[in-house]
Amino acid sequence: MKVGGIDSTAIDAMVAQLKAAAARSQPAINPLAGGASQVEKSATKVDFSQALKASLDNVASAQNHADQLGQKFTLGDDSVNLSDVMISMQKASISFQATVQVRNKVVSAYQEMMNMQV
């Protein structure tokens, strides 16, 4: 059966693939062996400052890559297409905007916590 020009069997197959991938990524929990403790043992602890630094490094590298491609295109390098330059610039812009939004949420949460009465 076709739904809006898309075959529903293709949709069902894709949903099944997504469910199988999700099942593979989740650790198995044995309720007899204390499932919560096994999940805690298998999960690696992530330091917030390290995660924040890694994401900021990713944003900085995306911006640097976009700048380098822009400079190469400006200098007339034939190996760089205008579309590649524009795509990398948009990726850098979106990642920077997302970082600014996260910063705004963190500052807002901090201000809200500071205004709480103890």
- Output DSSP code: residue 3: E
Q: Is 92 exposed, middle or buried (0-12, 13-18, 19+ CB in 10 A)?
A: buried
Hey, what amino acid is at 68? Q
pLDDT of residue 4: 54
Mean pLDDT for back-to-back runs of 10 residues, the chain (118 residues): 60 73 63 52 74 92 96 93 94 95 94 89
Question: Residue 71: what pLDDT?
Answer: 95
**Cα(62)–Cα(68) distance, rounded to whole angstroms?**
10
* pLDDT value of residue 47: 85
Q: For residues 94 and 45, give the distance between their C-alpha atoms in angstroms, rounded to a whole number.
A: 28
pLDDT of residue 48: 84
Q: What is the pLDDT of residue 115?
A: 92
HSE, side-chain direction, 13 A CA sphere, residue 23: 6
| Amino acid 33: pLDDT | 54
Q: What is the pLDDT of residue 114?
A: 92
Model-level pTM? 0.57
Residue 107: what pLDDT? Answer: 94
Displacement of CA 17 from its chain's centroid (Å): 21
